[in-house]
Every structure is written in structure tokens, then in C-alpha cells.
């Protein structure tokens, strides 16, 4: 697989992904929502529960500050989203209006409870879980889109392009208990089993007009690290198109004897404190830990610059003369050294920290109507270029002792959104469903135009 295709495919996959490991924060203040302990290990439940295998808690989420609607534009004649932002009929101001002036990010993950159980014993509430977690993300600087659309300046300091994906399984053991009538604490220990991780980057990317020329010198250090048991790159040697000599590049990959790619540990800590009968405050930190990956296969580019005179409008149709493939063919020799990666071999084991999250919340229960409560939750995720902050205000209602839910609204790094949750938990059965980001608009093919969308649902046996 050629690197330029691999990198473009990776970026587009992550930019349009519809999955993201995250919890249903809309249910943080929902009483007896079975998986509140995933957000704050101090929380317990009124009921014991055992999840239905692989159906107990399915969380799918995507969030970011740009999406399909910022890259593709609607054709007035057909109504289809078949024009890229580089189409000549799309003005520079319209084309760039949807991109953030800093970094443009989309992060997505999926969290599936393979098996989960919670029960009262040992003086408190205990949880045992086996979860599958997958996270992907892409971070693209604003200058990249400005350079692609508007070649009017002499220098573009584009910066770093980052794409990341990680998948692992966790075995978690949690315990929470009351210290006194007001204070409750909890902790969760997680054993982490790494499946695979990929880090793709193009660092220090710049574009500068060559002296006395209409061409650009584009430079940057490309690197791809794949951490997976049995993973190796496949290479191919090929002759240059228009100059003598040959080059060797990564064109494919192979996995032989897939298995455990890494091992790690993580810890969750949390507490709740009842300030008064109506007011409870809480705080938690989750995923304090790391995974040590044993097989770190690296590939990078040898030449870090090439001459470029600009693409025509890039068409999404493969048969078009302006397709990315056809236009890239005009730069084959230069791209052969710049955009194709060379196998650097195994770089040895490497430890990667998890994306830790800190949460602080306050819940106020109406004294004149105890079935209604309001909550404010602030949270921040520490994840390098994919870090984010959010504040969520919720109204929660418990009309019956086996039925509750609520509505909420949030603002943060990725803009404003709204969510909801419904939790049904009579004796013997539990079903919940909710969204942190209600899907607003989609194409006719049901592809989300925005990068904010989520769904969380699950079914459990209670006793």
C-alpha cells in the first residue's frame, strides 16, 4: 500500500468515523444508572446487576470541531454533496469558514461491555468488568486547508498533522463504600491488554515559494508507528518514472501470529460528598495509567521536501482527470521520496499513557419536589493534541422509583450540543438509552454532516 494513499485513507476514515471510548455523561446524575461507576468509581447502585453479554453497555460517539459539511459542499444543481472545498465555484471565504483557526480535530471511540456485574458486598458496592475500547482521532491544522485552497502567500507554516488509533481490552475491579453519612469514596483497578495502536504524523510541515519560481517547496517529516503483535511492513522496489534509479517503499503490511500487543495498568479514583440534604458534590479521575507496547514497527520518509505547483480542484470521482490519484501521478518521482515511507524496523518497546479524564460535579435536588434534580458536570480529558474540555448542565426527573431520565445541554472545546437519557430499571430488568450529542443533520446516505453524534444503550439483568 503506498504511503500517500495510506495516509489519505487514514485521515478520511478518522474524519468520517462514527464511533468513539467515552461514557454517557448525560447519565452522570441519573440515579441507578448501572454504569455511573465508569465515570466516578464512588457511585454504587440500589440494585445488583449482571449485563447481557456484549449488550449491557454499548457506547458509540464522535465529536470534533469540523466534519463532512466543512469539507464537502452541496451542488445547487443536484443537491448532492459532491464538491470539495477546493472546487472553483466555492469561494475562499466560504471554503475556509467551517475550519477552526487552530487545530481541526475529530475524535471517535467505541466502548463495549463484553461482560459487567455489580453487587453489594464487603461493606460496599463492587464491580467486575471486561470492556473492549477503541479510539481513533485526527488533528489537522487550519493552515493545511488554507494552503490547499488559497495559494496567495509566499510562506505557509502548516505545523503538525496527527492521526491516532488504539484498541485494547480492560479487566476492571471496582469497590466503593460510605466513610460516614456524608462522604463516599471509590476506586477501580484496571488490567489492560493491548490489541493494536497506530500513530501517524507529518511534523513541521511547511510550504514556501521557491525563489524566482511559481512552485512551492513543501517539507515535513512523515512517520508511522504501528504497534501490534506479529505486524510487519511489506516493501517494494520500483524505478523512478522520469529519472534513473530505483526506490524502496512500504506498499503493504502483514500480520503473522497476532496476539497480545501490549500490557498495562490503570486506576480510577472518585468521591462524593453530601454538603446538605439537597446538595451533593463529586469529583473523579479515570484512566490514570499506561500500556507498554512490545512491537513498535516504524516507517518514515527519507526525503523531507519536494517541489509542488498546486492541485486542481480535487474530485471525489475516481474516473475524473482531477482525482487525487491522477493529480498525484504528475508528482510521482518527487512523491516517491517524500510521501512514500521506508521501513525502519522494530524500534523496541514503548509505553503510551492513556487519556486520563478529570470530572467535578454538583447536584441539587429540589426540596419541595424530590423527584426533580439539577446537575452541573465539568470534565477535561488529557490527551495531547486531542485534549478537550466540556461543561454540561442537566435536569433529571424520577417520576417513578423504576423510571428516570433527563435532558441536558453542554458547551466546550467542540462547541455546543444537547443530550438526553432514559433509564428503565424495574426489578429483574434494566434498559437504558441516551445521547450526549443529538445528531442534527445528515446526508441522504445518513452520513453525519457534523462531527458531533453519539448513541449509548444497554440491557442488564437486575436483582
pLDDT per residue as tens digits for the range 425-448: 999 999 999 999 987 666 665 666
**Interval 229-242: pLDDT, tens:** 999 999 888 887 76
pLDDT at 248 over 90: no
Is residue 26 a contact partner of residue 402, using CB atoms and an 8 Å limit? Answer: no
How would you class 53 by CB atoms within 10 Å of its CB: exposed for 0-12, middle for 13-18, buried for 19 or more?
exposed
Task: Give the Cα-Cα-Cα angle 200, 203, 205 (nearest 5 degrees).
Answer: 125
pLDDT at 358 over 80: yes
Is residue 380 a contact partner of residue 357, using CB atoms and an 8 Å limit? Answer: yes
**Pairing mode, if any, of strands 279-293 and 356-365?**
antiparallel
Please list the helix, strand and coil fractions of the chain in percent, rounded to the nearest 5, in that order. 10, 55, 35
Backbone angles phi, psi at 446, to 5 degrees: 65, 30
Q: Which residues contact 77 (CB under 8 A, 6 or more apart)?
A: none
d(CA 34, CA 56): 9
pLDDT at 17 over 80: no
pLDDT at 421 over 90: yes
pLDDT at 4: 37
Q: Tell me the mean pLDDT in the region 105-128.
A: 95
| Percent of the chain scoring above 70 in pLDDT | 85
End-to-end CA distance of the chain: 53
Residue found by looking up cell 505545523 in the block:
159
Q: Which residues contact 445 (CB under 8 A, 6 or more apart)?
A: none
SS3 for 428? coil
Q: Which whole-number Å values give the CA distances from 31 to 26, 150, 300, 431, in the listed order?
A: 12, 53, 51, 14
Mean residue pLDDT across the chain: 86
d(CA 10, CA 335): 18
Residue 114 C-alpha cell reads as: 463484553
In 45-143, the DSSP E strands lie at 49-51, 58-64, 72-73, 83-84, 103-121, 124-141
d(CA 387, CA 384): 6
pLDDT at 373: 97
**β-strand partners of 136:** 108, 165
pLDDT at 209: 82
pLDDT at 333: 54
Range scoring the smallest mean pLDDT among 15-24, 145-154, 244-253, 275-284 = 15-24
SS3 for 3? helix
Q: Which whole-number Å values give the CA distances from 391 to 20, 97, 333, 358, 388, in the listed order?
A: 19, 25, 50, 12, 11
pLDDT at 329: 55
**Which DSSP string do the residues of 251-298 spell out, in sequence order?**
EEEEE-S----EEEEEEEEEEEEESSSSEEEEEEEEEEEEEEES-EEE
d(CA 319, CA 199): 31
SS3 for 320? coil
What residue spans define the domains of the chain? Answer: 3-462
pLDDT at 395 over 80: yes
pLDDT at 307 over 80: no
Residue 374 C-alpha cell reads as: 439539577
Greater model confidence, 192 or 329: 192
pLDDT at 401 over 80: yes
Other CB atoms within a 10 A radius of the CB of residue 76 amount to 8
Q: In b/e form, how buried is each residue of 326-336, taking b as 16+ CB within 10 angstroms?
A: ebbeebeebbb
Is residue 4 a contact partner of residue 153, using CB atoms and an 8 Å limit? Answer: no
Residue 392 C-alpha cell reads as: 454540561
Amino acid at each position: 500500500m503506498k504511503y500517500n494513499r495510506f495516509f489519505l485513507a487514514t485521515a478520511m476514515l478518522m474524519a468520517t468515523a462514527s464511533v468513539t471510548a467515552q461514557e454517557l455523561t448525560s447519565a452522570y446524575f441519573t440515579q441507578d444508572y448501572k454504569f455511573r461507576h465508569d465515570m466516578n468509581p464512588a457511585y454504587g447502585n440500589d440494585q445488583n446487576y449482571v449485563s447481557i453479554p456484549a449488550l449491557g453497555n454499548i457506547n458509540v460517539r464522535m465529536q470534533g470541531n469540523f466534519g463532512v459539511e466543512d469539507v464537502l459542499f452541496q451542488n445547487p444543481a443536484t443537491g448532492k454533496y459532491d464538491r470539495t472545498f477546493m472546487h472553483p465555484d466555492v469561494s475562499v471565504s466560504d471554503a475556509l469558514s467551517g475550519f477552526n483557526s487552530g487545530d481541526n480535530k475529530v475524535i471517535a471511540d467505541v466502548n463495549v461491555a463484553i461482560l459487567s456485574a455489580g453487587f453489594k458486598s464487603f461493606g460496599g458496592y463492587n464491580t467486575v468488568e471486561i470492556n473492549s475500547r477503541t479510539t481513533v482521532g485526527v488533528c489537522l491544522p487550519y493552515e493545511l486547508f488554507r494552503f490547499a485552497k488559497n495559494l496567495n502567500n509566499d510562506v505557509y507554516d502548516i505545523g503538525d498533522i496527527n492521526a491516532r488509533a488504539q484498541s485494547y481490552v480492560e479487566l476492571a475491579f471496582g469497590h466503593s463504600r460510605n466513610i460516614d453519612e456524608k462522604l463516599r469514596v471509590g476506586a477501580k483497578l484496571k488490567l489492560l491488554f493491548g490489541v493494536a495502536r497506530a500513530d501517524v504524523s507529518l511534523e513541521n510541515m511547511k510550504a514556501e515559494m521557491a525563489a524566482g519560481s511559481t512552485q512551492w517547496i513543501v517539507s515535513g517529516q512523515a512517520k508511522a508507528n504501528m504497534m501490534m503483535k506479529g505486524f510487519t511492513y511489506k516493501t517494494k522496489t520500483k524505478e523512478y518514472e522520469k529519472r534513473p534509479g530505483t526506490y524502496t517503499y512500504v506498499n503493504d503490511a502483514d500480520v503473522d501470529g497476532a496476539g497480545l500487543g501490549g500490557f498495562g495498568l490503570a486506576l480510577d479514583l472518585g468521591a462524593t460528598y453530601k454538603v446538605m440534604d439537597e446538595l451533593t458534590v463529586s469529583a473523579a479521575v479515570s484512566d490514570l495509567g499506561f500500556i507498554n507496547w512490545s512491537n513498535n514497527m516504524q516507517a518514515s520518509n527519507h526525503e523531507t521536501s519536494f517541489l509542488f505547483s498546486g492541485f486542481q480542484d480535487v474530485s471525489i470521482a475516481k474516473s475524473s482527470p482531477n482525482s487525487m490519484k491522477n493529480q498525484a501521478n504528475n508528482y510521482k518521482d518527487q512523491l516517491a521520496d517524500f510521501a512514500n515511507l521506508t521501513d525502519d524496523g522494530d524500534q523496541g518497546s514503548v509505553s503510551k499513557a492513556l487519556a486520563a479524564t478529570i470530572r467535578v460535579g454538583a447536584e441539587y435536588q429540589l426540596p419541595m419536589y424530590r423527584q426533580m434534580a439539577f446537575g452541573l458536570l465539568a470534565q477535561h480529558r488529557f490527551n495531547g493534541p486531542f485534549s478537550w474540555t466540556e461543561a454540561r448542565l442537566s435536569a433529571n426527573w424520577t417520576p417513578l422509583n423504576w423510571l428516570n431520565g433527563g435532558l441536558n445541554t453542554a458547551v466546550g472545546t467542540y462547541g455546543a450540543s444537547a443530550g438526553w437519557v432514559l433509564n428503565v430499571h424495574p426489578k429483574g430488568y434494566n434498559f437504558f438509552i441516551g445521547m450526549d450529542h443529538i445528531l442534527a443533520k445528515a446526508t441522504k446516505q445518513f452520513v453525519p454532516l457534523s462531527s458531533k453524534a453519539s448513541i449509548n444503550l444497554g440491557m442488564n439483568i437486575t436483582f
